[in-house]
Amino acid sequence: MVTVKEIIGEMPSPSAEDIAYVEKTYACAEKAHEGQTRYSGEPYFIHPAATAKILAEYGMGAVTIAAGLLHDAVEDGCITREAIEEQFGKELLFIVDGVTKLGKHRYRGIERHAESLRRLLVATASDVRVLIVKLADRYHNMETLEHVPEHKRERIALETLEIFAPIADRLGMGKMKSELEDLAFPYVDPDAAHHTAELRNLVTKETETGLVKVHKVLQRELSKKGVLSFRTDIRIKGLWSLHQKLKRKGDDISRIHDIAALRIIVPTLEEGYITLGAVHAHYKPIPGELKDYISFPKPNGYQSLHTTVVTPEAGIVEIQIRTEEMHRRAQFGIASHMTYKQLGKNVEKLAHDVQKSRFSSLSSSWVRSLIPSLMHVTKPADGPDKPTKAPPWLVELADAYAEVSGSEEFVEGLKEDFFSHRIFLFTPKGDAIDLPSASTPIDFAYAIHTDLGNHLLRAKVNGKMVSFDTELSNGDVVEIIRRDSANPSAKWLDHVKTSLARKQIRLALGMTEPDKRPPRRRKKLSRRKSAKH
Ligand code: MN
């Protein structure tokens, strides 16, 4: 069992107030889960305690750590939302509520829904801290997946690979991403995981001794150039990511040169480029393999110089060069923008203040919580040396809206980009379905199953009976009532938005001639064409 001391021990310079807060929530959560057990038979509280420790390791603040401690407490009915708010404040309740809501969206392995569900989770997590707690929660659940009944393991592992690891990646949390993937891999494809692990061991053993020699050589070469305080580590490629690369390279391991890469971490950007020069002066680089992700960061903000060189000591090796700051961000991503060690309590407080002002729509508020710092970054007056507080992919979007002064318009524009005219709907069981905007219950029924569309009797939206021409809105819970004797009518063709529904209705009506009806909305014709399913 992770103790409260261990959690506090991971926090970077916590205040007395923070310590007291975490201690109080720890005691409360422990009591709330009293008597409950995990699948393993251990006390349930080991799970929230471990989740909180992960959050502390990621440098999160006291409120987020407390949310980790209490994230399952409300749902299991051991403590009320009111009690949490009264004892620990609105902000904590807000995050706990968000995590609980996210838990309701389930993934059923329908491939085309994976991306939409991913985007939905990102969007409905009204505060990015909700996603970070959710990722820490998932991380510990993956660590203990062996205790979960066998028939559930694969689904959970697949969901981790297809939904949560990509979210971690999107947030720039490289360490979380690759650890989640490697925890899930053996449950999804045990043979491949075993095979990949053996291959990796073989190659790593060979390369590692060579890399130690390369390190010694570089130490000498770099000191000649005046780069004295640098450190290196050997980065071993994640198993899942190696597996993916092997598939791309026709299962030929000799074509992969970054299984074990040498990472050089330097104090400053200038020293990074000096190091690259020294490496290339000493070892012959392989043409076309130099990637300057410092000048051109990856969309999730990743920054580093990658080059592949031929060494007598270790053969062909990849060398990655980055600053400490880039290294930290590559591992912790958006979480590193939120550590109070770096920014004081500003960001947490900022998010809190922004939230207090309440929005028309919660779905964009975490994006919004980043906006003040985001706008800051785009202002040249801020100086180029200040650490970027918002992830670059958000900054890029911000640049696109730099002309827009009001944050309202800004967020609207951002949302447009995120959702590109799709809406997200739910079945009563919580499965997510995405459809073009202005879709109707008929489209929804056909999207689930042809049979459900063909025998659609009535539709309920958010518990209320609606007519078939009702335009659905984002987040609606749609229930389709089916009856064998119900059949499509030609009138339905006026009320559908998707070509799938249109096609099925025409089939059911025995219409063979080409559809001469005008599309439901002419002006959106091009949009429908471009909509991907
Ligand atoms: Mn949990």
User: Do residues 132 and 124 make contact, with C-beta atoms less than 8 angstroms apart?
Assistant: no
Q: How far is the CA of 100 from the centre of ligand 1 (A)?
A: 9
Amino acid 529: pLDDT = 38
What is the share, in percent, of the chain residues with pLDDT greater than 90? 52
pLDDT at 219 over 80: yes
For residue 140, the CA-to-ligand 1 centroid distance in Å is 8
Q: Which range (115-124, 187-196, 350-359) has the least confidence? A: 350-359
The pLDDT of residue 521 is: 46
Six token digits for residue 419: 């959702």
Question: How many Å lie between the centroid of ligand 1 and the Cα of residue 137?
Answer: 5
Ligand 1 mean position to 305 CA, how many Å?
Answer: 37
Scored b (16 or more CB within 10 A) or e, 372-390 reads bbbbebeeeeeeeeeebbb
Residue 508: name the closest of 482, 491, 494, 490 by CA: 490
Residue 48 or 398, more confident: 48
Q: Give residue 175 CA to ligand 1 midpoint distance, Å.
A: 20
Query: How many angstroms separate the CA atoms of 258 and 269, rounded?
Result: 23
Range with the poorest average pLDDT among 8-17, 77-86, 126-135, 289-298: 126-135
pTM of model > 0.75: no
pLDDT at 419: 42
Q: What is the pLDDT, as a whole number, of residue 129? A: 84
Q: What is the pLDDT of residue 297?
A: 81
Q: Give per-residue pLDDT as tens, 106-143.
A: 665 555 566 666 666 666 666 778 888 999 999 999 99
Position 201 scores a pLDDT of: 92
Q: Is 458 helix (H, G, I), strand (E, B) or coil?
A: strand
136 and 68 Cβ atoms separated by less than 8 Å: yes
- pLDDT score at 117: 66
What is the distance in A from the centroid of ligand 1 to the CA of 114? 21
Q: So which residues are the catalytic ones?
A: 75-76
User: Is the pLDDT confidence value at 366 over 50?
Assistant: no
Mean pLDDT on 132-161: 93
Tell whether the model's pLDDT for residue 406 goes beyond 50.
no
Which residues have beta carbons under 5 A from ligand 1 (an ion)? Answer: 72, 137
Q: 48 C-alpha vs ligand 1 centroid, how far in Å? A: 6
- The domains located in the chain, with CATH, are 4-187 (1.10.3210.10), 190-328 (3.30.460.10), 339-374 (no CATH), 420-509 (3.10.20.30)
364 C-alpha to ligand 1 centroid (Å): 24
Residue 229 pLDDT > 70: yes
CA distance 533 to 530: 9
pLDDT of residue 422: 66
Q: Give the mean pLDDT of 241-263.
A: 91
Euclidean distance between CA atoms 293 and 377, whole angstroms: 19
Centroid of ligand 1 to alpha carbon of 108 (angstroms): 19
Lowest mean pLDDT, pick from 51-55, 110-114, 372-376, 464-468: 372-376
3-state secondary structure 385-451: CCCCCCCHHHHHHHHHCCCCCCHHHHHHHHHHHHHCCEEEEECCCCEEEEEECCCCHHHHHHHHCHH
Q: How far is the CA of 373 from the centre of ligand 1 (A)?
A: 31
